[in-house]
Every structure is written in structure tokens, then in C-alpha cells.
A and B are shown apart, each in its own frame.
Chain A
Amino acid sequence: MVNPQQHSPGAPPVRAALPDVAQVWTWLHAVPDPEIPVISLTDLGIIRDVAYEDDNLVVTVTPTYSGCPATSIINLDIETALRGHGVDSLELRRQLSPAWTTDWLTDEGREKLEKYGIAPPQPAGGPDKCPQCGSQHVEKMSQFGSTPCKAQWRCTACLEPFDYFKCI
């Protein structure tokens, strides 16, 4: 806080210093994905930019899938989190290009997914192993799953079905 005494008369009222961008990233790192809460929005790679335009904080977000119903919840969660940290001048901007790719999932995000029982995306187009028992004997049940970002697979060793995070 700046001491108002130090200000020249007639200057605009002084507000608390704006949180720096690195701090905002840390806060966003704590916001979970609404459908796969084990990973955060930054793990998912959908926060493309955090920057100030004057005093206005602009957070640029890219959708995972065009019709993903979580998109509006994600925006709401970002807004709730940042307002909770005292950000009052905030704008969320949608960015379509470059289109989201699972290459933007962080290594930390991939680890968290696997630990949670969701096989992380692989360039080969299918999981490399069962996230439960580690067997490489897996087969596809459906190209789609419980959310737009996942497909259904099963392990032929432990016989458990599991989610695979689609590689796009």
C-alpha cells in the first residue's frame, strides 16, 4: 500500500499494488479442472496467457473441445478464484488458434492423470499401458468416453476398463 500522504494533491486515488503475473499463474495452478479435478487448468495447458492491459488483467483461455460443456464452468472458476484473490478488473479472452493440443499437458499433469487412473495421451494414438496394473495388453472399447477429452479402453490382463485421455 502506498501512503496517501506521499501523494501530490489531485492525483487519482491509489489502490493496492496489482498482483504480479507470476502470482496469478500460481493461483490459476490451484484451480482444478471441473471434470477431472485431479489436474489443474494450467496442467491442462488451456491457459494461454496472463497479462495486464493497463490495470486490466487479461487471462486468455483456449477451449479443449468446441462443445465441451466444462468451458463455461472453467471460465466461472477462473473468475471466482481470481476475484477471491482480490483481482477486480478482469477479462477472460477466448483464443481458438493455435488450437489446443494434448502436447500442452504438463508432465506434472500427465503424472497426476496416470496416478488417478486415466492413461495420459500418447502420440501412437492409444495408451502405452494400463494405468491400474501397468500391463501393456490393452484394447480399445470406444473412441469416446465420459467427457469429450477421453476414450474408453480396457486392460486384458487385469480386465479393468479405464479412461484414456485422447491425443489431439
Chain B
Amino acid sequence: MAPVDKEMLTQFLLRMGDNTLILGHRVSEWCGHAPVLEEDIALANTALDLIGQTQFWLGYAAEVMEDGKSADDIAFLRDAWDFRNLLLLELPNGDFGQTLMRQFLFDAYQSILLPRLMKSSDQRIAEIAEKASKEVAYHVERSAETVVGLGDGTEESHKRMQAALDRLWPYVGEMFASDEVDAAMAAAGVAPDPATLREEYNALIGKVLSEATLTIPDSDFAHKGGRTGATHTEHLGHLLSQMQWLQRAYPGATW
């Protein structure tokens, strides 16, 4: 197997950690605003799991980078162009249905990727994946159930869920748009090439979305630029200005 390139490994870990960080932050925006108390609690708990996983991924990224930074430094002191999350995850929440549709589309991806990472040649990645995959199995169960409940629900909820899928679908393709980082990780046995996960992903979401009586748009067009950092949406900067303001206003502040 090819040796692991440190720079490539760092990029891979940032992608993993930024995905959970940015989605975790987005989901936490629901705290106190969800349609019913139970859903509010569920969203906050999901966000908590995602932020917890972020600490593992970015904590490891910080160790690999060896420049004296912590997971917190990486989360709070980088600017938009240094983030490596999928564009899907930085989009504004929209309504409750759109939030849960996004959650499902990402949970489904993680539920396929993490079990593969449990077999990573990098022991640390395997351990984080083992821990996270248990939480993700729980998340995908709930988000899939909710997508089915709302998709196959009332006329209004069905309409909103179809609109959410239509809106988010062009952001799904980026998950599988592999590049030289993915090639290096695959060659070193660290992680699978995400392009190889697409078939299983399509089968999983196809099953759930059909049960939800929703129609997957007939287009493969994919917005890209999040996981490479090349072209984030304008929404990321606004998210960061809220997420990072305390460390920016009071550098080094601690609890």
C-alpha cells in the first residue's frame, strides 16, 4: 500500500470534521425553534453528536498538522476558504422538512462511509468511525422515518418535502466527486474513493424516497467546490460570522 501523505491526510480529516462541524452548527440553529418540543430535543441531540464527532476528527487533524493548533483553533480561527465541508451542509436550514431532508441525505452518506472507515489502515480513523457509526445509525433511522412520514403525509407536507428534495438534489453529487485527496487515501488504504459508494447510496435513498412517495429529480448536475474549498456558497461566511464571533471578538477566551 502507498505511504500516507501528511498533507493529503490533513485534507481528508478536515473534510470529515468540517462536514460534522458545519452541519452540527446548522442543526443547532433550530434549538428553541422546532415545531414541537420532541423534535427540538431531537435536533439538539443530533447537533450534539455531530459536534462531538467534530472534536475527534479535528482533534486528529490538529495532531497530524503538528503546528501547535487545537481542534478549537481549527474550528474557530479559519476563514471560509479554508473550510472543506460539502456545500449541502452550509446551506441555510429552510423549513423543518428541508432540514430533515438534508439530514437524511447526509446521514445516508455517513451510514455507508463510516462502516468502510472502520476498516481503515489508520487505526485512529477506524476508532473514530466505530464510535460515530453507532450514532449515525441512530440518526439515519430517525431522519429516514421523518422523511417518509412527511413525504407520505399531508398534501402540504408532501409538497414541501418534494420542494426540499428538488432544492437539495444538485448538492448531493459533490459527495461522490472524488479528487487527488481521495485517490491518495484510497491508495493508502485510509478511506474508500467516495465515487465507489454511489451505487449503494442510490439504492438506500431510492428505497426511502420511494417509500416517501417523492421523486428524485432527473438530473446529475452537481454544485461543487465545498470539499475542495474552491467555491463555497455565500452562506458559509454568514454562518462563520455567528459561529466564530466570540473567539474573533475576544481572542483566546475560555470557559
Contact = CB atoms under 8 A, between A and B. Distances in A.
A168 B138 contact: yes
Interface stretch (A65-73, A74-82, A107-115): A65-73
A152 interface: yes
Interface residues of A, number: 21
A98 B142 CA distance: 24
B126 A97 contact: yes
Query: Which secondary structure characterizes the binding site on chain B?
Result: helix
B69 interface: no
Interface in B42-71: 42, 45-53, 55-56
A89 interface: no
B48 A141 contact: no
29 contacts: A63-B52, A65-B48, A66-B49, A66-B53, A67-B48, A67-B50, A67-B51, A67-B53, A67-B55, A68-B48, A68-B52, A96-B127, A96-B128, A96-B130, A96-B131, A99-B131, A99-B134, A142-B38, A142-B39, A142-B41, A142-B42, A143-B138, A143-B141, A143-B142, A144-B42, A145-B41, A148-B49, A166-B138, A168-B134
A6 interface: no
B135 A66 contact: yes
Given A67-B51, A144-B41, A145-B41, A96 B56 contact: yes
Contacts of B130: 96-99
A74 to B, nearest CB: 14
A70 B210 CA distance: 40
Interface of A: 63, 65-69, 96-99, 101, 141-146, 148, 152, 166, 168
A97 B130 CA distance: 7
Interface in B211-248: none
Contacts of A67: 47-53, 55
Contact of A152 (B38, B51, B56, B131): B38
Give the interface size bracket for B toward A. 20 to 34
Contacts of B49: 65-67, 148
Contact of B42 (A68, A69, A101, A143): A143
A97 B127 contact: yes
Given A98-B130, A143-B138, A148-B49, A66 B42 contact: no
Nearest to A145: B41
A69 B48 CA distance: 8
B111 to A, nearest CB: 14
B160 to A, nearest CB: 21
B132 interface: yes
Contacts of B53: 66-67
B178 to A, nearest CB: 26
Nearest to A101: B134
